[in-house]
Amino acid sequence: MTRTELTLLTGHAGGPNCDDDDCPNVYRATNGSFVVQGNVSSAFTPPVGEALVEIPEHVLREAVRALGW
């Protein structure tokens, strides 16, 4: 999957601490799943092939609004 295959659900209006592509964001993939971009978290060690990221609550709220949920 490439970035061009993702629909950006958040970050359209910019936000605090955002420069270009380094903002926490939520994307929707063509298969209906979600890709989350955020700061790496070390809360626990996830299984191989997975990662933990932290994103602010306002980013999730914006994604829900964009989906009309």
CA distances to 15, 16, 17, 30 from 34, in Å: 21, 22, 22, 9
Band of pLDDT at residue 3, cut at 50, 70 and 90: confident
- What are the residues whose beta carbons fall under 8 Å from the beta carbon of 35, sequence distance 6 or more? 1, 6, 26, 27, 28, 29
DSSP 8-class letter at 32: S
Give the position of tokens 């929707």.
28
Q: Which residue has the tokens 């932290």?
A: 54
The pairing of strands 53-54 and 39-40 is antiparallel
10-52: pLDDT as tens digits: 886 555 556 666 789 999 999 999 999 999 999 999 999 999 9
